[in-house]
Structure 1
Amino acid sequence: MRSRIITFYSYKGGTGRSMGLANTAWILASNGMRVLVVDWDLEAPGLHRYFHPFLPDHELRSSPGVMDLVWEFATAAMDPATPDEPGWHERLARIQPYAMSVEHEFPGPGTIDFVPAGRQDALYSTLVTSFDWSNFYERLGGGGFIEALKRSMRERYDYVLIDSRTGLSDTAGICTVQLPDILVNCFALSTQAIDGAEAVAASVHRQRADDQLRMFPVPMRVEDAERARLESSRDYARSKFGRYLSHLPDPEGYWGEVEVPYKPFYAYEEILATIGDRPRQQDTVLAATERIVAHLTDQEITRCVTELKETERRDLLDRFRRAGSQEPAPRTSSDGRHAVRVFISYAHDSVDHFQAVRELWYLLRGQGIDARLDRPPGQRTPEWPRWQRQQLLDAEVVLLVPSPAYRRLPVEETVQLRDVHGAHPDRFMGVVLPGGSREDLVDVLHEGEATRWTTVTALTPEDVRPLAELISRRAPVVRSTEGDPLDSPWPWSRVHDDPELAEAADALSHALYRLQLREPGLRRLHEPFRFDIRWSLNRRFLTPAEAGRLPVGSGTLRDVEDLFTSLPHGRLVILGAAGSGKSSVLALLALELLRRRADVPGLPVPVSLSLTSWDPAAQTLTDWITDRLRICYPMAPQTARHLVTANMVLPMLDGLDELSPSARAHAVESLQRDIPPDGRYVLTSRTAEYEEVIQRAGRTLARAAVIELRPLQPADAMAYLSYNRLPGDLRWGPVLNVLAGRPEAPLAQLLTQPLMLRLAEEVYRSPSTDPAELLRFHSESDIQKHLLDALIPATYVADPVFGRGRRSAYSPDAARRWLGFLARHLEQRQTREFAWWELHRTFSPWSMRLRLGCFAVLLTAPVMALRLLAETGVSDLFPQLTLTLAGWSGVTVLLVTFTAVRSPEPRSGLTIRGRGALRLPRRLPTLTVPRASLRADWRATLTFPLLGGALAASAVAAGALTSVRPVLATAFLLLLTALLTLILTLRNSASGRYWVTVFWLALRGRLPWRLMRFLDDAHARGVLRQAGSFYQFRHARLQDVLADRDHQVH
């Protein structure tokens, strides 16, 4: 949160201004805020009296303050020895040496630091009266010093509260014009006080020009004895100050909330109402101040947080030497009648033009119109675009006030208007003020035939009344013509009629959520400090009507979920350059939707799917998603298909750009054709590839919102690299200098990609590395290749601190060799997913048959052993044994060798019977990982071969061992059963072929003997990620680099 500087000002003394400031400071600190209080009432200092029981120097006899600060600057400015260089006064503007702490324990980090007006000794009055403020500004450059002082205050504090001098003076001008972001204009309800305070408000407004502050007029010391005169004074004050409340959503309600009542108890001693009043009592000074604080903090802080018991509160009161009580009184509620909601859009041409627009807003509210005014430049926070878009969407009528500056508005400032105008042109109405012209409006809005125009000849209640009547007539017409059911939010929560199908969806959701939480790459996205990926709507792929219906036009990573769940049709396309974070956004969105599903039953289950395994020309989208569910997550085909066709699965389709151009075209056509009207999906793609396929198709994806991820800013990269540095680590200095001074350099450009920035931090995490070597590369591609090449050695480094927190069981060279082989295997398969049951496709079909035959020969080795035994005479004991085993061995070799080499899918061992086909196994969360699916397949495929092997072995033994001793016969039977079981398993199971393939590849050194253990370790280190029963490389470009390296070596 940006620090706020708030000045409390009053035209006349005795209004309770200082007391209001002191109470505000206490309330803010009680809510954990760091507060600085500055007594700038130099001629009559007294703010310290409200804190004196808690100050170490009660009377400020030895405490320097504001006067000492400005005198020190003036002396240095007039000293010839002072160096004449930019920023020389920065050290003199440090506020901290003049601040003393209020010695009270506030919750959390809450503090109050107090800067007095100056040392209260015999010389103080001389210092005040002899200081030349005109010379300070005109000759000494005091304006720059005050700006430096503002920066110093903002650095350390959340809120800076300044107690200003009353009346009209140089010091009052500093406090009311130059210093504050917010001005609290305090006044009593007398004519002189109201007129004087309003004159100051007008002066501040004019002097601030294009940097308008927010002003809060606050009636104080309100006495309710004379009701008729009180109401008259209230009306007069509202007529004077009402036009300064354009920044508030409910100006009328504001007046009833901020009046500070007069309480005689506080007239005789400076006592804090936060201690003098009991909490949560109405009609007290504390309650009124809490409501004022709520406005000052945009409703973030609404009450004083206190843990004081009543006895403790009274003890504190004794330190002020006063005690008392107040009786509560009821509050009156404001009129809640409905009014037409209007938003006024304008450009800030000049102070006079803004005053005219604000007068229009004020007069419309006087006519019963709920008018809202766009914020002037000085009040535009970083959240202003989102606030403006919400105001445009909520308004029943949007008034456009043309001016020369409106025509010159930059495109980025008209994006929100263009979006909403494209969706709801009937809402817009042009209003020409005196001296204006309708030709001065933004071109795209000027051309809209639905935009109605009217002219206001004078800014008086009588001349504005026809406009108010026109608005009141037009609003019901607008509401009646906007009944498009497609604008309503998607009914996300649906309770399905089939409880078993709902149970299957719940089991799948639970499994995915647990797997996502264990994903190392996803955990890194939740680090305490991470860069914020920014996005905005890509309007090239959206119709104006579609863009205008969306609640936000831009945002950060944390806003994607809110955008998606508010989409009318539940379809989102995420675009971005390579390495921009598309997959990260998709993963985080899936996780947040899974979390939301735990609280809201019936939401669709988000399932991430890599499009590289889809051939859209040969398989429909529904069939492919069904197959992927069945393979990745062990479930029956009926269950998978029912979940997909019932829209209980939300496909998160990653990597449209990874498909070939022709496949991309078929995929887009399938999304247009196969997705039902109520179907939802999320799709990611690189921007260029998506643009190319959409242009070829000649139309955008129907009803899909399209957002594009933006590159990071150099400042984001600098903050991320600086945050992760160890104390005293200066290695990143040269890189940070490039980011700060040469943002156009290849290194700076590359580090604005989230992927490359994180890779750089990981590669150079160890103190033994030197990031400065990145400066020797002259192109982005060279730097990128270097980082990707260095990632594996950095990940498998044998340092327990910088090697993922544990010593590596694998050398970097071995890990790179094995990962390179897997990457090349995936490249040859034209996929990004490693499936263990597809590993045997490393060999050609005949090559695989040969290896299976060799393995079968190994299995029949016992026959050779028996042949050797026959030479020793043992065969005489078994006359038929040698012939029988020789025949069995030949059949075995032929059976295994000439079996058609196909790709058996992994089995989970599920038993499907009747309606039970819709149920998922209770151990689904553990069955979905690759190692578990391998074990499940091995167990499931052993059942039939074990039974067949036993029967075959019994038949062979019955014919060959009729005269054999029982012990030998039993041993031989067991041996035959085991061998036949293994042979049948090789012939029919995916896991059997996997073990044979790993055996041959490990012999050649291309893979480790314990491949699954190595893959699990690579996943834990963040090199790989899991997607159901598949492994994927963490980055597609890492796979490409490793595959290319393996191709060069082999």
Structure 2
Amino acid sequence: MNSRIITFYSYKGGTGRSMSLANTAWILASNGKRILVVDWDLEAPGLHRYFHPFLPDHELRSSPGVMDLVWEFATAAMDPATPDEPAWHERLAEIEPYAMSVEHPFPGQGTIDFVPAGRQDDLYSTLVTTFDWSNFYERLGGGGFIEALKRGMRERYDYVLIDSRTGLSDTAGICTVQLPDMLVNCFSLSTQAIDGAEAVAASVHRQRAGDQPRMFPVPMRVDDGEQDKLESSRDYARAKFGRYLSHVPDPDGYWGDVEVPYKPFYAYEEILATVGDRPRQQDTVLAATERIVAHLTDHEITRLVTDLDEPGRRALLERFQRVGPLASDRLTPDRRRQPSSRVFISYSYDSIDHFEAVRELWFLLRGHGINALLDRAPGQRQPDWRPWQREQLLAADTVVVVPSPAYRRQPTDDVKDLREAYRTRPRRFVRVVLPGGTHEDLPDFLRGEASARSAEVRALTAEGVEPLAELILRQVSAVRLSSSNLVTSRPTRNVRNTDPELVDAADALSYALIEEQHMEVRHRRLTDPYPLPLRWSLNPFLSADNGPMTSTSGDLLEETGDPFASLPSGRLVLVGPPGSGKTSAAILLTLRLLQNRTSLQPVPVLLPMASWDPTTQTLQDWIVDRLWVNHAVNRIGRGTAQRLVAEDLILPVLDGLDELPAPLRAAALEALRRSIPPDGMYVMTSRIAEYESSVLDTGRPPARTTVLTLEPLHSEDVIAHLARNRLPNDTRWEPISHSLLAQPSGPLARTLTQPLMLQLAVEIYRAPSAHPAELLRIPDEKSIHTHLLNALLPALYDPFPTSDRHDFSPFRARRWLTFLAAHLERQQTHELTWWEIHRFFAPGRMRLLLGWFCALLTAPGLVLVYLTSTPLDATFPDLRPTVAALTGAALATVMLTVVRSPSPRRALRVLDRRFYPSLTRLTRPVDPATTSPRASLRADRRATLLPPLLTGSGLAAVLTGVTVPSEGFAASVLAGLLTFVVTTLLLMGLSLRSSASGRYAVTVLWLALRGQLPWRLMSFLDDAHRRGVLRRTGAAYQFRHRLLQQVLAEQAKSGNP
């Protein structure tokens, strides 16, 4: 069912509109629906009173709301520094920061989130009266902001219920015209009330002419004391509103259904009829509201779902009624200023009496101003209960453990998360013994532990619980002070060298890397208006020496500050299953660290670990090589790069421990432990299984390291992402969405909650002719993975390519990519660099190929010498044999002394240093700010070609000048040209022994002749990167994901590219 926005409106106050909305919300949530309730009655907010027993801030003293939301937008809109972009306001139109949960255990997935009108303090009335709604719409673009708010609410909730302003003051029709799909028009049966309500209905009808909301006129507070007057008023109301009920199948029956009777009981206090009335009773406010809900939901929901017995209902009802000042009202001002605590109460259901005692403890703690949350009762534990419980245990400031015999008997699996949370921060735990209980009923790991505090509640009264409340409040203050000190004193690298030249070099590298990371972020669409979340949670089992954290869960995309701010140390490992977004997280972390960096701080550099062999190369040497080859350090020189690493001015972001061969992973962790200084920081990513096995192989986890696990997406995230990535009226994804909701743990849901697989699915089925419903027919998760990976290339490459030379057919692209993938798998690496392309051939075969190409290069010069007569023949009678000898020597030198694997620009650096120091500037890349594969190839090609060309030109010029007086101009020029050609070709042939670009040209030419690679390989790789098949780090390419490389390599192995 699509999300619905329903406004409850009344022309006059006192009709019971807010109560009807609150009852409707409760009934919908009791049926497992996600409900958002918004109090838009800005002049007279009061909706919160119907939920006050269940709100952590029941007086709204510190809770922002609608007024804060619109003021924040207006302030940003008038700020000159706000980006002038079409969607700039999207981030401000998020409703979640202003919503608080109604803390009641609804069945299933049912929830109610409440957005108040605003913080109820002395400033509130000023905010309301001074807000300029005309300016909001006419100058600030408020209409677009409200539309963005509307979209956001739809994506997150099944029903949005809005309590509208009364009368004709609903400025610009926000609540009655712009927002709703349905309008519940509440009125009493007086003539004035009916006329006023009908006037508003007519106005809405005119303004929404092309998109009519469904109108539901509802008579409220119907008193049958004067039967004649009542019938007359009923007839008048039906005549007035009859025209708006064309969407109702039985208008006569409708009027009989929706009348809400007047009950004096509800006239004195704000009490929910879902609590005040017994279910299944006729002629009650609850029964009338159930019938209204049936009409609003097209009879999908017809009654309140509750498991409360009569004593339970009465106990809940007592919480609404005024029986004297609450315990929180008796608190002293000093107590009121205590920080809001987040307390989670952990218990096991032992008996009805024990459960009621635990629930009473929860209620009494909340009366003391403590934000306590009770673990779900057994009957309310849905499939998501365990991850929910784990999240609460890790996030709470204090965990209250209530022992009982059932608590002690819990199976090992049931206490695993409790034990994990305890080991994370044991001082958060408080053992609370209720009347009749004993510490002996605690699990073994909590019994007798000195780290956990204990308290005994002798009476379940406000006074009896007060010592426990004081203990919790003191503990919260201590925990937060400890966290604050931790953040301000967290380890940072001490820069030992403040040499201005070195600091300038670090800054130059940082600026270049920011641009590089920005390009990759944009290419991966990680900053789309609605990116997929990257949620994480603390993994205390894998973390080492882990102190208290200021946060134990979060979303990397929602965090904008220092990524290390909440860590006990500056060492972070991100783990997760395949396709969970680890590399995306590493890229975002690197960019955020670069943006937050100040001078004298280390420069974060993203380094794929696949190219490191820790058994043959130290971490420092490998980082220098990666900087030199992949990043823009040629401007500052290799020596400066070595100094940056030696002086700890590089913060390594190591991506992909799992991409190393298994025997090297433990060696890498040991090298990391030896190489990083005590105050050093780093980030590393890995698949979780590979990281665990590597830690076991080393026998100890890396010291002072915090490990965070990237969590899978929620089904709601997937459905929302699919909805945002389809065309209007495109219903192809609806079967998938229904399957995700019906089977949240099924193979399709497990697959699409992986960010990689969801992105693949969206790309593969983007075309209107594609049918995503075919995924429903694939039986298991592995088969869905294989199907999506196999279908990616045909979806990304046009089957009918244009004449554009950079347009490639799916068949050729797949053939070339499978060949590359198979090569990388054989080399046990994931980095594709142009200067390593020659490794397709064995060393001996490579020597033969280079010798053959050297012969092809030098042969034309030798032929010209033997066929051409020049004045040089008389001057140098042995010229021809000499040239032949030199050619043979060059050929032998290339074949016998070939460099195994030359690095880019190595020839340039040698020649620059020894022969052409003045030409360094000419042979640098055009733009040193960034290093791309194409730029580094061109730079090495210049380094290879320029010295032979300059040498040949110089020698030709000298010989021409020497022979002109005796031989004449024409003959001398011919001799000079011959000298230039022979010398240049000879030196170019000789350069093949150590030229990376020359070896690249030879390899690509030979493989292209055999059809295994394209002639213009670099253009093909750039195109694959643009299409999203490859990703790029500096001058190196990688397949978009390791799984894609493996699948393509398997196809090459099976002979089915």
TM-score between both structures, scaled by the size of structure 2: 0.65
CA shift for structure 1 position 991: 1.6
CA shift for structure 1 position 571: 1.5
CA shift for structure 1 position 656: 1.5
Deviates more, 1:898-907 or 1:454-463: 454-463
Residues 963 and 124 (structure 1), Cα distance of their counterparts in 2 relative to 1, 3 Å cut: farther
Q: Deviations over 1:769-826 (max 9, x none)?
A: 33344455444444333332332222111579xx9x9996122222222222222232
* Matched residue, 1:930: 933
Residues 65 and 125 (structure 1), Cα distance of their counterparts in 2 relative to 1, 3 Å cut: farther
Q: Deviations over 1:255-285 (max 9, x none)?
A: xxxxxxxxxxxxxxxxxxxxxxxxxxxxxxx
1:985-1024 counterparts in 2 under 5 A?
985-1024=991-1030
Tell me, what secondary structure is at the counterpart of 2:43? helix
* Matched residue, 1:141: none
Q: Deviations over 1:409-437 (max 9, x none)?
A: 99999888756643554565544344444
1:59-78 counterparts in 2 under 5 A?
65-66=185-186
* Matched residue, 2:74: none
Deviates more, 1:614-623 or 1:118-127: 118-127
Q: CA RMSD in A?
A: 5.9
CA shift for structure 1 position 7: 13
Of 972, 975, 980 in structure 2, the residue corresponding to residue 969 of structure 1 is 975
Structure 2: how far apart are the matches of 1:585 and 1:525? 9
* Matched residue, 1:708: 709
Q: Deviations over 1:603-624 (max 9, x none)?
A: 4332221211111112222222
Structure 2: how far apart are the matches of 1:574 and 1:456? 42
Deviates more, 1:440-449 or 1:682-691: 440-449
The question of whether the paired residues in 2 share the 8 Å contact of 1:537 and 1:706 is answered with yes
Amino acid at match of 1:610: P
* Matched residue, 1:652: 653
* Matched residue, 1:525: 526
Deviates more, 1:749-758 or 1:833-842: 749-758
CA shift for structure 1 position 56: 11
Residues 524 and 124 (structure 1), Cα distance of their counterparts in 2 relative to 1, 3 Å cut: farther
Structure 1: how far apart are the matches of 2:980 and 2:741? 75
Structure 1: how far apart are the matches of 2:270 and 2:833? 74
1:88-107 counterparts in 2 under 5 A?
none
What number of residue pairs does the alignment pair up? 831
CA shift for structure 1 position 1045: 2.9
CA shift for structure 1 position 687: 2.0
Structure 1: how far apart are the matches of 2:315 and 2:595? 45
The question of whether the paired residues in 2 share the 8 Å contact of 1:631 and 1:1029 is answered with yes
CA shift for structure 1 position 752: 3.1
Structure 2: how far apart are the matches of 1:534 and 1:56? 37
Residues 6 and 928 (structure 1), Cα distance of their counterparts in 2 relative to 1, 3 Å cut: same
Amino acid at match of 1:1020: R
Tell me, what secondary structure is at the counterpart of 2:541? helix
Of 1029, 1033, 1036 in structure 1, the residue corresponding to residue 1035 of structure 2 is 1029
1:793-812 counterparts in 2 under 5 A?
793-798=794-799, 809-812=807-810
The question of whether the paired residues in 2 share the 8 Å contact of 1:884 and 1:956 is answered with no
Q: Deviations over 1:829-854 (max 9, x none)?
A: 22111111111222223322222222
Question: Does residue 40 of structure 2 align to residue 23 of structure 1?
Answer: no
Structure 2: how far apart are the matches of 1:860 and 1:113? 89
Tell me, what secondary structure is at the counterpart of 1:682? strand
Tell me, what secondary structure is at the counterpart of 1:1031? strand
Deviates more, 1:929-938 or 1:1002-1011: 1002-1011
Residues 24 and 163 (structure 1), Cα distance of their counterparts in 2 relative to 1, 3 Å cut: farther
The question of whether the paired residues in 2 share the 8 Å contact of 1:735 and 1:771 is answered with yes
Q: Deviations over 1:386-417 (max 9, x none)?
A: 99679854x7xx76555678769999998887
CA shift for structure 1 position 451: 3.6
Residues 163 and 639 (structure 1), Cα distance of their counterparts in 2 relative to 1, 3 Å cut: farther
Structure 2: how far apart are the matches of 1:430 and 1:645? 50
* Matched residue, 1:890: 888
The question of whether the paired residues in 1 share the 8 Å contact of 2:15 and 2:186 is answered with no
Structure 2: how far apart are the matches of 1:205 and 1:520? 58
Question: Does residue 1046 of structure 2 align to residue 1046 of structure 1?
Answer: no
CA shift for structure 1 position 361: 6.5
Residues 214 and 768 (structure 1), Cα distance of their counterparts in 2 relative to 1, 3 Å cut: farther
* Matched residue, 1:243: 327
Structure 1: how far apart are the matches of 2:188 and 2:775? 50
1:244-259 counterparts in 2 under 5 A?
none
* Matched residue, 1:574: 574
Question: Does residue 853 of structure 2 align to residue 855 of structure 1?
Answer: yes
Structure 2: how far apart are the matches of 1:476 and 1:36? 37
Residues 129 and 662 (structure 1), Cα distance of their counterparts in 2 relative to 1, 3 Å cut: same
For structure 2, list consecutive stretches of 5 or more residues without a partner in the other structure.
Answer: 21-38, 46-65, 68-116, 118-127, 134-141, 151-159, 178-182, 190-196, 208-212, 236-253, 278-307, 348-353
Structure 2: how far apart are the matches of 1:895 and 1:53? 85
CA shift for structure 1 position 1037: 2.0
Tell me, what secondary structure is at the counterpart of 1:529? coil
Structure 2: how far apart are the matches of 1:461 and 1:1020? 65
- Report the structure number with the largest CA radius of gyration: 1
CA shift for structure 1 position 1029: 1.2
CA shift for structure 1 position 729: 3.5
Structure 2: how far apart are the matches of 1:960 and 1:891? 28
Structure 1: how far apart are the matches of 2:518 and 2:457? 61
Structure 1: how far apart are the matches of 2:262 and 2:657? 62
Structure 2: how far apart are the matches of 1:474 and 1:335? 16
Structure 2: how far apart are the matches of 1:485 and 1:846? 59
Amino acid at match of 1:994: Y
The question of whether the paired residues in 1 share the 8 Å contact of 2:343 and 2:396 is answered with no
Question: Does residue 559 of structure 2 align to residue 588 of structure 1?
Answer: no
Tell me, what secondary structure is at the counterpart of 1:1025? strand
Amino acid at match of 2:43: N
Of 898, 901, 909 in structure 1, the residue corresponding to residue 899 of structure 2 is 901
The question of whether the paired residues in 1 share the 8 Å contact of 2:956 and 2:977 is answered with no
Amino acid at match of 1:346: I
Residues 171 and 949 (structure 1), Cα distance of their counterparts in 2 relative to 1, 3 Å cut: same
CA shift for structure 1 position 664: 1.2
CA shift for structure 1 position 1036: 1.4
Residues 516 and 412 (structure 1), Cα distance of their counterparts in 2 relative to 1, 3 Å cut: farther
Amino acid at match of 2:931: T
1:766-915 counterparts in 2 under 5 A?
766-775=767-776, 777-798=778-799, 809-863=807-861, 865-866=863-864, 869=867, 881-907=879-905
Of 977, 984, 988 in structure 2, the residue corresponding to residue 982 of structure 1 is 988
* Matched residue, 2:603: 605
Deviates more, 1:479-488 or 1:1035-1044: 479-488
Residues 214 and 508 (structure 1), Cα distance of their counterparts in 2 relative to 1, 3 Å cut: farther
Structure 2: how far apart are the matches of 1:53 and 1:341? 38
The question of whether the paired residues in 2 share the 8 Å contact of 1:490 and 1:566 is answered with no
Structure 2: how far apart are the matches of 1:112 and 1:409? 52
The question of whether the paired residues in 2 share the 8 Å contact of 1:425 and 1:448 is answered with no
The question of whether the paired residues in 1 share the 8 Å contact of 2:628 and 2:638 is answered with yes
Residues 101 and 577 (structure 1), Cα distance of their counterparts in 2 relative to 1, 3 Å cut: farther
1:942-961 counterparts in 2 under 5 A?
942-950=945-953
Percent of residue pairs identical: 41
Structure 2: how far apart are the matches of 1:479 and 1:20? 35
Structure 2: how far apart are the matches of 1:372 and 1:744? 32
Structure 1: how far apart are the matches of 2:785 and 2:692? 25
Amino acid at match of 1:619: Q
Amino acid at match of 2:602: P
The question of whether the paired residues in 1 share the 8 Å contact of 2:184 and 2:218 is answered with yes
The question of whether the paired residues in 2 share the 8 Å contact of 1:37 and 1:114 is answered with no
Q: Deviations over 1:359-395 (max 9, x none)?
A: 4675xx6xxxx866446879999999899679854x7
Structure 1: how far apart are the matches of 2:430 and 2:521? 53
CA shift for structure 1 position 567: 0.8
Question: Does residue 755 of structure 2 align to residue 754 of structure 1?
Answer: yes
Residues 620 and 100 (structure 1), Cα distance of their counterparts in 2 relative to 1, 3 Å cut: farther
CA shift for structure 1 position 874: 13
CA shift for structure 1 position 648: 2.7
For structure 1, list consecutive stretches of 5 or more residues without a partner in the other structure.
Answer: 40-45, 58-62, 70-94, 106-110, 131-148, 154-161, 180-202, 218-236, 246-250, 254-333
CA shift for structure 1 position 641: 2.8
CA shift for structure 1 position 497: 2.3
TM-score between both structures, scaled by the size of structure 1: 0.65
Tell me, what secondary structure is at the counterpart of 1:524? coil
